[in-house]
Chains A and B, each alone.
Chain A
Amino acid sequence: MNPHHATVAEIGRALRARRYSSVEVTRWFLDRIAEAGKALNAFVTVTGERALADAARADATIAGGEGGPLTGVPLAHKDIFCTDGILTSCGSRMLANFVAPYDATVVTRLAAAGMVLLGKTNMDEFAMGSSNETSHFGPVRNPWDGTRVPGGSSGGSAAAVAARLAPVATGTDTGGSIRQPAALTGLTGFKPTYGRVSRFGMIAFASSLDQAGVLAQSAEDAALVLAAMAGFDARDSTSVDAPVPDYAAGLERPVKGLRIGIIREFFGEGLEAGTGAAVRAAIDGFRAMGATLVDVSLPQLPLSVPTYYVVAPAECSSNLSRYDGVRFGHRCRDPRDLLDLYRRTRGEGFGAEVKRRIMTGTYVLSAGYYDAYYLKAQKVRSLINEDFRRAFAAVDVLMGPTTPTPAFAIGAKTGDPITMYLNDIYTIGANLAGLPAVSVPCGLVEGLPVGLQIIGPHFSEERLLAAAHAWQCETDWHRRLPPLYA
């Protein structure tokens, strides 16, 4: 029994064929987390007992001839999802003692699908970061090169799946936090349409942008897990009430005739040459499969990053006002009065990047600056959205790189927030417009993975997954493992 190179789909099939049990496969992953995974710092909490109990239950289900494609398959959740009775830290000192009193809907649904919880993965504090260096629990290392970042904010989930400490993991994507780490670790990272997956119990960062998704080994795995996560939830007021297609059933849809728009603005200055070459070669691969390529310009898209760094901090400053040292989370010692309680609790509980974003947001929302910054950014957001809408009138999907460079060195960008923010230059647009997007592995540059990004119109998840799957049927980039973890 060795699930090292097995995808979620393959593990599910092996379990149903009784080639091994869920308890066996779960033990294998728990051992791997403890041994091979030690150097990566990918997990905040490993839930060994819970995992084995989940696995035993799954085995009973399978023995009874029941269960589905995910029954008994282990997974890891990003530590942003509330898990009943389990530490849910969001990568912050503020919540380093927070044991969630309920499950997020994503957690409930994947448990109901029979998945086994291995643990909670490390992340940038409150999902604010692109390198997993802002975590209170320390940086996560990239399995492809331990001196480099795995990307962020879902860096622990990315490292865990890339090193096969877990066959799949959840993530969240506010400005690229699934796609960017997926690109930097050689995974398939899927961010659904805004409102597609419930955010109930998912700790809020920027509510008009946040969306849950998955970091997987393949488009097929992403389709299976996404289908179980997605769908209407009355407990999330932004949840969209629309049926969820059978994503796995739609995977074989051919690429022939697909109209692909190549985003001109994504191939300009700042794109590292090897990354650009790998992405262009991948797009040519789609042409060889019968797709039509169209040159597309989205003139306002370069304003995505500044727009985001007004909108997201504004929403974050509002969302994070709940951490007051009164109801849950960190509280400072011996507060003199209520103001002292708030100020010291928050000053101690939040790390530097979170404080920076709260202050940016506080400033752009403050009296006299609201119109010049926040309202202006919301108007530019409309322009960017309109650019996408116009593009999708002529093409089915858009393609470009996920990131401007492969994984960078730990510490290389921590001194300058703007340099760090520009990592998300190609991913943020999809969040501003609420679009689904996926990053798929499309090459290696000096031994480091490169991601191709595919963006589609609202609710085009099926189309994106099918395009990614078609690419993965022709190539084996998604099957490459980091040499140290092969």
Chain B
Amino acid sequence: MFSRTGAIVTLTRRDVESIAHLARLEISEAELPVYVQSLSAILAFVEQLASAPTEGVEPMAHPLAGQVQRLREDQVTESDRHDRYQANAPAVEAGHYLVPRVIE
């Protein structure tokens, strides 16, 4: 498969490592070749879009034409339920979410 620029769409191990880093996903050594292969196959598959006649066509971001996302008044509508929400957090202390130290 060739891209529109004529280059072969094949990802390298380094490409996949870099995508995984951007996506904040740890990928094991054993998994890497599997993703190199399947992501390359997916990109080759979607390459068929390149030949579609889209000259002057507007991109479609919303399936209902003319539908605008509503804005609401900037008012408090929810009650304070942080105890309830934080019950699902892996680590909290005094109402704060705990994460590893960021600033040394």
B-chain residues with CB within 8 Å of residue A364 when the two chains form the complex: 46
Encoded as 1 (CB less than 8 Å from any B CB) or 0, chain A from 32 to 43 comes to 000000000000
Stretch at the interface among A329-337, A463-471, A475-483: A329-337
For residue A377, which residue of chain B has the nearest CB? B49
Q: Find out whether the CB atom of A382 lies under 8 angstroms from the CB atom of B35.
A: no
Q: Find out whether the CB atom of B35 lies under 8 angstroms from the CB atom of A238.
A: no
B-facing residues in A329-383 (Cβ within 8 Å) = 329-331, 335-344, 346-348, 350, 352, 355-356, 358-360, 362-364, 366, 372-373, 375-383
Q: Find out whether the CB atom of B26 lies under 8 angstroms from the CB atom of A363.
A: no
A-chain residues with CB within 8 Å of residue B94 when the two chains form the complex: none
B-chain residues with CB within 8 Å of residue A337 when the two chains form the complex: 100-102
Q: Find out whether the CB atom of A338 lies under 8 angstroms from the CB atom of B100.
A: yes
Task: From B52, B89, B91, give the contact of A303 (CB < 8 A).
Answer: B52
Q: Find out whether the CB atom of A309 lies under 8 angstroms from the CB atom of B25.
A: no
B-facing residues in A154-195 (Cβ within 8 Å) = 193-195
For residue B68, which residue of chain A has the nearest CB? A237
CA distance A366 to B69 in the complex (A): 25
What band does the interface of chain A fall in when counting residues whose beta carbon is under 8 Å from B? 35 or more
A-chain residues with CB within 8 Å of residue B43 when the two chains form the complex: 360, 363
For the complex, would chain A's binding face be called helix, strand, loop or mixed by DSSP majority?
helix
A292 interface residue per 8 A CB criterion: no
**How many whole Å from A198's CB to the nearest CB in chain B?**
13
For residue A97, which residue of chain B has the nearest CB? B88
A-chain residues with CB within 8 Å of residue B38 when the two chains form the complex: 356, 417
Encoded as 1 (CB less than 8 Å from any B CB) or 0, chain A from 81 to 102 comes to 0000000000000000111010
Encoded as 1 (CB less than 8 Å from any A CB) or 0, chain B from 32 to 75 comes to 00110011011101111110111001111111110101101000
For residue B65, which residue of chain A has the nearest CB? A385
For residue A239, which residue of chain B has the nearest CB? B70
A22 interface residue per 8 A CB criterion: no
**How many whole Å from B28's CB to the nearest CB in chain A?**
8
Stretch at the interface among A59-67, A250-258, A274-282, A320-328: A320-328
CA distance A359 to B19 in the complex (A): 6
Given known A-B contacts A341-B100, A366-B19, A382-B58, A237 and B69 have beta carbons under 8 A apart: yes
**How many whole Å from A341's CB to the nearest CB in chain B?**
6
Task: From B59, B81, B84, give the contact of A379 (CB < 8 A).
Answer: B59
Task: From A300, A309, A331, A358, give the contact of B91 (CB < 8 A).
Answer: A331
B27 interface residue per 8 A CB criterion: yes
B90 interface residue per 8 A CB criterion: yes
A458 interface residue per 8 A CB criterion: yes
B76 interface residue per 8 A CB criterion: no
Which of B4, B60, B64, B101 is packed against the most chain A CB atoms within 10 Å?
B60
A-chain residues with CB within 8 Å of residue B58 when the two chains form the complex: 379, 382
CA distance A433 to B54 in the complex (A): 17
CA distance A6 to B29 in the complex (A): 53
Chain A positions within 8 Å of B, measured between CB atoms, are 97-99, 101, 193-195, 208-209, 234, 237-238, 240, 300, 303, 306-307, 309-310, 317, 321, 324-331, 335-344, 346-348, 350, 352, 355-356, 358-360, 362-364, 366, 372-373, 375-383, 385, 416-418, 421, 431-435, 458
Given A98-B88, A237-B69: 20 more A-B contacts, CB < 8 Å: A237-B70, A306-B45, A306-B46, A326-B90, A328-B89, A343-B26, A346-B23, A347-B26, A347-B28, A356-B35, A358-B23, A359-B20, A359-B25, A360-B42, A362-B19, A372-B50, A379-B57, A381-B59, A385-B65, A435-B63
